[in-house]
């Protein structure tokens, strides 16, 4: 007997043999078989029927013998239009609603958005595509990536291009959805996009300065400093803002408490009290743990007795402490937390 081949060009398997057996039964018996199956089994059976072509009589007999079905003689004819027959049996045996639910086509999942394909693109391929884009479009595209991914993409670009894009990124404070949607037909086609972003005039708030700082923090010290130097040649003020945003007051929590001593000695107590007024409890305790018991108790008392300061005064005090930390780090007296590329 020649092997029976499905419409897909593959030999029949167990589920196809089960489907052949059901199609060979009379209506009443086939209905009883179907009523004993659960939805998952019925779906597999329906799928197998749809994959079957005409089954020769000798193949049908062989299948039935394999399944140990008692036969009195060879069956010369296999049912045609098996899918329709199985659906008819299901409607009769299972009821209209269950049969309709069983044979309903599976819901199609929405096509992936172009931006999702963008996030999964190879770094160098994405960098090459963005180099060819208008710089402002490329910068908007980068806002849609995780900082670590964006850092790798910039690192794969010529330094002057990366510096220009990082400078543009630092100035973005909102991302128009339409700009993301229209991020170049060539780019979308290159990423094999099969869907489209919702077209609208909505805008999403975006902190470009913090994002640019996060990108540089994801780079090694050497690469990050080189990028900042090139940014400074384009826009010194932008580079300075990014440098300031790279290390925040909250980042002091990442410094080992035993290593905080040089910083705590270099900061005046009044500045420390003002800076800690809005600090989280964990950060306050981090400062306390870097001091002696007596000094920590004094700082707690001063903080409890201090009158509320304006937000601008608190931020200025926090910035002063951060700048002191960065100065001490440059002098080698303080070890700042490693950047992403050095962790």
Q: What is the DSSP string of 126-137?
A: HHHHHHTS-HHH
Render the burial of 245-284: b for 16+ CB within 10 Å, e for the rest: bbbebeebbebeeeebebbbeebeeeebbbbbbebeeebe
CATH class of 250-342: mainly alpha
**pLDDT score at 276:** 93
Domains 114-234 and 250-342 belong to one CATH topology = yes
- Each residue of 36-71: pLDDT tens digit? 777 777 777 777 777 776 666 666 666 656 655 434
What average pLDDT does the chain have? Answer: 75
Lowest mean pLDDT among 7-16, 226-235, 248-257: 7-16
Inform me whether the pLDDT recorded for 205 exceeds 70. Answer: no
Spatial neighbors of 286 by CB under 8 A, at least 6 apart, are 252, 253, 257, 260
Q: How confident is the model at residue 185 (pLDDT cuts 50, 70, 90)?
A: very low
d(CA 262, CA 309): 26
d(CA 183, CA 187): 7
Q: How confident is the model at residue 3 (pLDDT cuts 50, 70, 90)?
A: low
**pLDDT score at 77:** 38
Identify which of 8-22, 189-203, 307-321 has the greatest average pLDDT: 307-321
Q: How confident is the model at residue 188 (pLDDT cuts 50, 70, 90)?
A: very low
Inform me whether the pLDDT recorded for 107 exceeds 80. Answer: no
Q: Quick one: average pLDDT of 200-211?
A: 66
d(CA 319, CA 267): 12
**pLDDT score at 299:** 92
Task: Name the token pair of 233.
Answer: 């040649």
Residue in 48, 161, 42 with CA at minimum distance from that of residue 103:
42
Exposure on the CB side of residue 16, measured as CA atoms within 13 A: 20
Q: Quick one: average pLDDT of 174-198?
A: 51
Q: What are the φ and ψ backbone dihedral angles of 203, each rounded to 5 degrees?
A: -130, 145
d(CA 76, CA 37): 28
d(CA 18, CA 82): 13
Inform me whether the pLDDT recorded for 2 exceeds 70. Answer: no
**pLDDT score at 284:** 92
Identify which of 66-70, 209-213, 294-298 has the greatest average pLDDT: 294-298
Residue 325 burial (CB count, 10 A)? 23
CATH class of 114-234: mainly alpha
More confident residue, 194 or 303: 303
Domain boundaries in the chain? 14-103, 114-234, 250-342
Q: How confident is the model at residue 184 (pLDDT cuts 50, 70, 90)?
A: very low
Inform me whether the pLDDT recorded for 195 exceeds 80. Answer: no
Spatial neighbors of 111 by CB under 8 A, at least 6 apart, are 194, 195
- Each residue of 134-170: pLDDT tens digit? 888 888 888 878 888 889 889 999 999 999 999 998 8
More confident residue, 17 or 209: 209
**pLDDT score at 78:** 42
**pLDDT score at 56:** 67
**pLDDT score at 267:** 93
Inform me whether the pLDDT recorded for 186 exceeds 60. Answer: no
Mind spelling out the 3-state secondary structure of 95-118?
Answer: CHHHHHHHHCCCCCCCCCCHHHHH
Q: How is residue 143 annotated by DSSP?
A: T
């Amino acid at each position: 007997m020649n092997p029976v081949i499905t419409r897909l060009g593959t030999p029949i398997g167990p589920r196809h043999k089960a489907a052949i057996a059901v199609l060979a039964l009379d209506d009443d018996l086939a209905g009883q078989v179907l009523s004993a199956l659960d939805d998952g089994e019925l779906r597999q059976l329906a799928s197998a029927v749809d994959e079957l072509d005409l089954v020769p009589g000798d193949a049908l007999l062989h299948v039935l013998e394999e399944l140990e079905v008692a036969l009195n003689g060879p069956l010369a004819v296999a049912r045609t239009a098996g899918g329709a027959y199985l659906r008819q049996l299901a409607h009769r045996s299972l009821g209209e609603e269950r049969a309709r639910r069983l044979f309903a086509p599976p819901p199609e999942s929405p096509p992936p958005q172009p931006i999702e394909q963008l996030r999964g693109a190879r770094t160098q391929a994405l960098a090459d595509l963005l180099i060819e884009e208008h710089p402002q479009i490329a910068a908007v595209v980068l806002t849609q990536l995780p900082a670590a991914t964006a850092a790798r993409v910039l690192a794969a670009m010529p330094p002057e291009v990366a510096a220009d894009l990082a400078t543009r990124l630092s100035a973005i404070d909102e991302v128009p959805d339409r700009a993301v949607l229209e991020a170049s037909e060539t780019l979308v086609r290159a990423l094999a996009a099969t869907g489209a972003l919702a077209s609208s005039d909505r805008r999403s708030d975006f902190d470009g300065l913090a994002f640019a700082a996060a990108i540089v923090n994801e780079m090694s010290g050497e690469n990050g400093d080189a990028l900042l130097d090139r940014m400074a040649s384009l826009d010194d003020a932008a580079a300075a803002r990014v440098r300031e945003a790279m290390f925040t007051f909250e980042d002091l929590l990442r410094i080992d408490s035993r290593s905080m001593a040089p910083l705590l000695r270099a900061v005046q107590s009044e500045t420390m009290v003002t800076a800690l007024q809005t600090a989280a409890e964990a950060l306050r305790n981090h400062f306390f743990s870097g001091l002696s018991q007596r000094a920590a108790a004094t700082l707690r008392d001063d903080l409890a007795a201090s009158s509320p300061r304006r937000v601008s005064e608190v931020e200025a005090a926090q910035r002063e402490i951060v700048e002191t930390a960065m100065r001490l780090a440059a002098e080698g007296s303080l070890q700042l937390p490693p950047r992403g590329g050095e962790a």
